């Protein structure tokens, strides 16, 4: 396969983990006979410093033309002034809108080796296998905003069409899993949530009547996610609630550095990134966890390029490394290895798998 993949390192630890993702993409291309053209572009704070814009025109055009996009992270204290008119996060929001990606997929499945690293009791992690489907281009993040001397507002607005299209994504995923969707809202207070609840119910009843649908208020969901996480399968929700709940769910995996995400729904292959932030406090120290980015590469291969076998192999390689106790300090504390060492371990497993395929 020939494919163009745009890589956006970004800020903080972004360049370090993006470099790990690039190495894995190069290894997969070589081992499976693909031709990946990897281009690199600025976004976020780095782009503000270089171009005065968190999403320069050249970066946006390259991403729109690419078959898929891999992102490191954006933001940091250098650009954290809440009164600033130009902020790194604006580049990411604009990129999502430009690519038309409206569904964010975030899997959470704790690795057995990580049970001790998670703050929850081991028995609560047994059988946890979640897929969050978060609407990505609507709600208060993209609504009208304003501020005056007396206050401020952020408008949250959704259309039925926006809710229906992300519900369809969740339904297709649920069909490949346990056939259950939990839709999360605040329908006892918010009108947008009441729209969500009624629209999801009507859409599934009309097109996917065999899928089991439950509704959950976001505040109770925040509690149940930590007290009975194994009782959920696909979790469908709006932009703001999804952003908060998926970060909360990171504790189930033992480290936010392990979790990937995929933003899909546009005409091309989508946007892929770890769910962690730019972690400026550890930037340049070699402590950044590359596994979330490498797992995002697996999602890019599967959802963006339709290369499921390659994706399975990358995920298996991460699993093998964790099973062997190879991971950064956020995962294994004092026994943790560096970013480069963890990446090298994944590459070694991939190379071993390639040799076995050739021998077979």
Verify that 144 and 55 share a domain, yes or no. no
Q: What is the spatial distance between Cα 281 and Cα 292, in angstroms, rounded to a whole number?
A: 18
**Among the options 102, 141, 158, 272, which is catalytic?**
141
**Among the options 109, 129, 202, 247, which is catalytic?**
247
The reply to whether 111 falls in a domain is no
Verify that 249 and 267 share a domain, yes or no. no
E strand spans, 30-124: 35-40, 68-73, 103-108
**Among the options 49, 219, 281, 306, which is catalytic?**
219
Q: What is the spatial distance between Cα 3 and Cα 279, in angstroms, rounded to a whole number?
A: 30
pLDDT at 204: 98
pLDDT at 121: 84
Q: Are 73 and 9 in contact (CB under 8 A)?
A: no
Verify that 247 and 272 share a domain, yes or no. no
Tens of pLDDT along the chain (360 residues)? 999 999 999 999 999 999 999 999 999 999 999 999 999 999 999 999 999 999 999 999 999 999 999 999 999 999 988 788 899 999 999 999 999 999 999 999 998 888 777 888 888 898 999 999 999 999 999 899 999 999 999 999 999 999 999 999 999 999 999 999 999 999 999 999 999 999 999 999 999 999 999 999 999 999 999 999 999 999 999 999 999 999 899 889 888 999 999 999 988 899 999 999 999 999 999 999 999 999 999 999 999 999 999 999 999 999 999 999 999 999 888 899 999 999 999 999 999 988 888 787
The whole domain housing 315 covers 1-104+259-360
Q: Are 110 and 249 in contact (CB under 8 A)?
A: no
**Residue that terminates a domain, selected from 210, 235, 253:** 253
**Residue that terminates a domain, selected from 226, 253, 280:** 253
pLDDT at 268: 85
Verify that 264 and 248 share a domain, yes or no. no
Verify that 304 and 356 share a domain, yes or no. yes
The reply to whether 3 falls in a domain is yes
The token pair at 13 is 């630890």
Q: At what angle do helices 308-323 and 291-299 cross, to 10 degrees?
A: 160
The reply to whether 24 falls in a domain is yes
CATH number at residue 359: 3.40.718.10
Verify that 225 and 341 share a domain, yes or no. no
Verify that 210 and 276 share a domain, yes or no. no
**Residue that terminates a domain, selected from 206, 230, 253:** 253
**312 catalytic per annotation:** no
pLDDT at 359: 82
Query: DSSP class of residue 357?
Result: H
**335 catalytic per annotation:** no
Domains contained in the chain, number? 2
The reply to whether 112 falls in a domain is no
Please state the length of the chain: 360
Query: DSSP class of residue 77?
Result: G
Verify that 139 and 248 share a domain, yes or no. yes
The token pair at 235 is 């979790």
Verify that 272 and 360 share a domain, yes or no. yes
In the block, tokens 């390659």 appear at 310
Q: What is the spatial distance between Cα 108 and Cα 123, in angstroms, rounded to a whole number?
A: 16
pLDDT at 153: 95
The reply to whether 113 falls in a domain is no
Verify that 169 and 65 share a domain, yes or no. no
**185 catalytic per annotation:** no
Verify that 3 and 86 share a domain, yes or no. yes
**Among the options 67, 186, 291, 330, which is catalytic?**
186
**32 catalytic per annotation:** no
Q: What is the spatial distance between Cα 139 and Cα 159, in angstroms, rounded to a whole number?
A: 10
The reply to whether 10 falls in a domain is yes
The reply to whether 323 falls in a domain is yes
Verify that 152 and 271 share a domain, yes or no. no
The reply to whether 109 falls in a domain is no
Q: What is the spatial distance between Cα 131 and Cα 232, in angstroms, rounded to a whole number?
A: 9
pLDDT at 357: 80
Backbone angles phi, psi at 143, to 5 degrees: -75, 175
Q: What is the spatial distance between Cα 84 and Cα 67, in angstroms, rounded to a whole number?
A: 33
**148 catalytic per annotation:** no
pTM as predicted: 0.92
């Amino acid at each position: 396969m020939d494919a163009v993949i745009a890589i956006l390192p970004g800020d903080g630890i972004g360049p370090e983990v993006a470099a790990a993702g690039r190495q894995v993409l190069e290894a997969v291309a070589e081992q499976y006979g693909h031709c990946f053209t990897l281009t690199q572009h600025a976004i976020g704070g780095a782009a503000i410093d270089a171009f005065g814009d968190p999403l320069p025109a050249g970066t946006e055009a390259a991403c729109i033309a690419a078959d898929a996009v891999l992102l490191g992270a954006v933001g940091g204290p250098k650009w954290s002034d809440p009164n600033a008119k130009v902020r790194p996060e604006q580049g990411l929001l604009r990129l999502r809108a430009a690519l038309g990606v409206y569904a964010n997929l975030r899997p959470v499945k704790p690795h057995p080796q990580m049970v001790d690293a998670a703050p929850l009791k081991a028995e609560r992690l047994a059988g946890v296998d979640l897929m969050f489907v978060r609407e990505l281009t609507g709600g208060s993040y993209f609504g009208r905003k304003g501020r005056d001397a007396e206050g401020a507002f952020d408008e949250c607005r959704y259309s039925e069409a926006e809710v229906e299209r992300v519900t369809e994504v969740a339904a297709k995923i649920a069909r490949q899993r346990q056939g259950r969707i939990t839709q999360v809202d605040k329908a006892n207070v918010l009108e947008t949530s009441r729209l969500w609840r009624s629209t999801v119910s009507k859409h599934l009843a009309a097109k996917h009547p065999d899928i089991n649908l439950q509704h959950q208020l976001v505040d109770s969901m925040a509690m149940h996610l930590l007290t009975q996480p194994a009782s959920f399968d696909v979790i469908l929700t709006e932009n703001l609630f999804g952003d908060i709940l998926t970060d909360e769910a990171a504790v189930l995996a033992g480290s936010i550095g392990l979790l990937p995400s995929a933003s899909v729904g546009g005409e091309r292959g989508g946007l892929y990134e770890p769910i962690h932030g730019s972690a400026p406090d550890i930037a340049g120290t070699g402590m950044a966890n590359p596994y979330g980015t490498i797992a995002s590469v697996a999602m890019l291969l599967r959802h963006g390029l339709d290369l499921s076998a390659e994706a399975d192999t990358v995920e298996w390689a991460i699993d093998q490394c964790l099973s062997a106790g190879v991971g950064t300090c956020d995962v294994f504390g004092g026994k943790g290895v560096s970013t480069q060492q963890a990446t090298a371990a994944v590459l070694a497993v991939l190379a071993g798998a390639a040799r076995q395929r050739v021998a077979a």
